[in-house]
Structure 1
Amino acid sequence: MLATARQLPRALSAQQRRGLTDLVTLPNGKPAIAYGPPGRSGTNGRVVTVFGSTSFLGRYLIAKLAKSGTQVVVPYRDEDEKRHLKVTGDLGQITPLEWDLRREDQIAECLRHSDTVYNLVGRDYPTKNFDFNSVHVAGAERIARIAAENGVTQFVQVSHLNASPSSKSEFYKTKALGEEKVKEAFPNATIVRPAIMYGHEDKLLNNMAFWPILWKLNEMQTKVRPVHVLDVAQALTNLSIIPSLAGSTLNLPGPSTLTYEYLLTLISHVTYQPPSKAPVLPKRVALLLSKLSQKALWWPTLSPDEIERRYIDDAEVEGDWEKVGVRPDEIEDHAITYLRRYRSA
């Protein structure tokens, strides 16, 4: 028994020895030590902050980062909205911190230990507290500026494929203006422009299955390039280990260009539901009903800007998927996974 006790310190010291493979070089050139086995139960030495962590894309990005052993700081506004993120990583991997977009001290607290910052914050519709400009432009510039002041070496701004300063949509316009402000505050920032995303909690396939009449605008001929949310999350995860892409703008459209008519037909076939016979609303009538519903109802409805977006085709640009090491999937390969629950039987 005495010999075993004497051998214990020697055994522990042998287990605690480190190899050169445990030394990780961060994008800023600083060294970090990896602990434990590779993967979820280990630590790769990286610390990442994901603003917009409770969003549709945020949950998948955090899960992939945590799975690789990255410690993820999760800023949140509502206690209940971040609970599901705690189990995406092992014990101690997910660090939730309360924040407000207008509180610079809270933003600094969320990113002061991080080497990489992702900004996924966005609004699909304006509210009395946060309009498009305060979130997509002023808010993005504020986060980027504070990140630069605190020595963050990698900043990733998630925009939209259709971002344009001359767009008829205020959403797309402010996304483009936000890119410019981020570049001014953080010149080496990486801009990522994904197309509309689909997945389990999306606002594309689910809304089409539940409210097909709202997608019949423009005679259902609007062209979109939907992309799988898991593909976008993987691309963003890969960016954290590809420092050569810093300062570039990456377009991430889906592999195919489809119309709303095609998507509604696909949903009808997968769910075994007959196509909707609802009439196609003229744009003026849809805008009028949208404005009235926003004044009469307290819960979010289809905003006038969202109706404007239903008439705008996705930009026909070349995708940059090879640069991030991802091959995007076709929507037909995953439609049944997310639409099976809408079958009556």
Structure 2
Amino acid sequence: MMEGWQYGLLLNLENKLPTRALHDLVTLPGQKPVISYGPPGYSASLAAPGFLGRYLVSKLARMGTQVVVPYRDEDEKRHLKPMGDLGQIVSMEWDIRNEGQIAECLRHSDIVYNLVGRDYETKNFKFADVHVTGAERIAKRLVHVSHLNASANGEERVRSVFPNVTVVRPATMFGYEDKLLNNMATWPIWWKLNFGETKIRPVHVIDVAQALANLMSTPQLTRTVSLPGPSTLTYEYLLELVASVTYRAPSRAPVVPKPIALAVARAAQMAWWPLINPDEVERRFIDDANVPGDWNVVGVCPDEVENHAITYLRRYRLAKDYPRPVLFPARPT
């Protein structure tokens, strides 16, 4: 999903010339020498500091691609440097409102991944400034990452500028740094809105990153690609799943009525880092769109959330519960 926009979560990629270097040769003791995987050129990657971006970069690092990362905060892109070979990760300071800086970031690119987004507004940037106006300024061979439930306004503005754009719509993603399983383990009360009956189709962030990386080697798609998870689940089931993995009793907090939740969220907007915002409260009452997935188009088979829950939630167990087995709850019929 779109996040980290103010740090320039825009992946700008340029294929290298068909040459090899000495460091492409890998020799391991007792094994035959091998040449590094990927198209000819330096093995390189670049990830923006957001959730999806870093996983996409880990995929692109093996594909011989030079990546330019626009950023606003110097500290938020440093961890990306070791993901590629020397000179392959290029950081460029930018402002999404400055068309000159955008043009400079994109001018050598063969493909652009627009992952720019945030799930709450700030005093400097409203949703429309980022998801509509900002997206409208970015054009090339463009892959615009939206969301399964997103309004089409931003996508239509992008298409008006660049008709050949590929719009990718993943569902809510889970992973190590996610805002789904981690928040359920720490703030379960906000996921009980709507009595936990809201239906979502969670998808693994690594599957989405692989799908985006696969677009590098496919013909340009002038269409919308939907990437929902393989199963439709309720928040209630996911809360039970989190409790079963962490061995923590499910939250007994009462369900907060929507008007009260909205009032708390509006008050939280005054904080520098709000725990929840009004838009999130509204999303807790919206089922994920019931549309068919296009995973066959990108050559990926999405995985179930249960297969990865222990990996991302074991850290929330007490020491005495750490080695205990996982007993998943029964899925609702």
Contact conserved, 1:223 with 1:314, CA < 8 A, in 2?
A: yes
Contact conserved, 1:228 with 1:254, CA < 8 A, in 2?
A: yes
Match of 2:149 among 159, 162, 172: 162
Task: Give the Cα separation in 1 of the matches to 2:19 and 2:295.
Answer: 29
SS of residue paired to 1:207: helix
Q: How far 1:193 sits from its partner (Å)?
A: 0.3
Is the deviation greater in 63-72 or in 190-199?
A: 63-72
Task: Give the Cα separation in 1 of the matches to 2:38 and 2:218.
Answer: 23
Q: Report the AA paired with residue 124 of structure 1.
A: D
Task: Give the Cα separation in 1 of the matches to 2:196 and 2:190.
Answer: 10
Match of 2:309 among 310, 331, 335: 335
Task: Give the Cα separation in 2 of the matches to 1:39 and 1:183.
Answer: 37
Contact conserved, 1:47 with 1:114, CA < 8 A, in 2?
A: no
Q: How far 1:241 sits from its partner (Å)?
A: 0.7
Match of 2:231 in 1: 256
Match of 1:9 in 2: none
Q: Kindly report which structure 2 residues correspond to 1:73-92, keeping only aligned pairs within 5 A, or say none.
A: 73-92=68-87
RMSD (CA atoms): 2.3
Task: Give the Cα separation in 2 of the matches to 1:328 and 1:299.
Answer: 32
TM-score under structure 2 length normalisation = 0.84
SS of residue paired to 1:156: strand
Contact conserved, 2:44 with 2:89, CA < 8 A, in 1?
A: no
Is the deviation greater in 230-239 or in 65-74?
A: 65-74
Match of 2:95 in 1: 100
Q: How far 1:33 sits from its partner (Å)?
A: 1.9
**2:183 paired with 1:188:** no
Unaligned runs of 5+ in 2: 1-13, 25-34, 320-333
Contact conserved, 2:174 with 2:180, CA < 8 A, in 1?
A: yes
**2:204 paired with 1:219:** no
Match of 1:109 among 101, 104, 112: 104
1:42–1:324 CA distance, 2 compared to 1 (3 A): closer
Match of 1:323 in 2: 297
Match of 1:237 among 191, 194, 213: 213
Identity of aligned residues (%): 64
Match of 1:268 among 243, 246, 251: 243
Question: Which is greater in Rg?
Answer: 1
Match of 1:33 in 2: 18
Unaligned runs of 5+ in 1: 1-27, 148-153, 164-172
Higher relative contact order (CA 8 A, sep 6+): 2
SS of residue paired to 1:157: strand
- Aligned residue pairs: how many? 295
Q: Kindly report which structure 2 residues correspond to 1:289-308, keeping only aligned pairs within 5 A, or say none.
A: 289-295=264-270, 297-308=271-282
Task: Give the Cα separation in 2 of the matches to 1:317 and 1:88.
Answer: 35
SS of residue paired to 1:74: strand
Q: How far 1:235 sits from its partner (Å)?
A: 0.3
Task: Give the Cα separation in 2 of the matches to 1:87 and 1:46.
Answer: 12
**2:126 paired with 1:141:** no
Greater fraction helix: 1
Match of 1:202 in 2: 178
**2:62 paired with 1:67:** yes
Contact conserved, 1:47 with 1:116, CA < 8 A, in 2?
A: no
Match of 1:282 in 2: 257
1:122–1:319 CA distance, 2 compared to 1 (3 A): same
Offset from partner CA, 1:234-288 (integer Å, 9 cap, x none): 0000001101x42111000000000000000000010010111111001011111
SS of residue paired to 1:284: helix
- Please identify runs of 4+ aligned residues in structure 1 that moved more than 3 A: 36-50
1:292–1:31 CA distance, 2 compared to 1 (3 A): closer
Task: Give the Cα separation in 1 of the matches to 2:274 and 2:238.
Answer: 24
Q: How far 1:45 sits from its partner (Å)?
A: 8.0
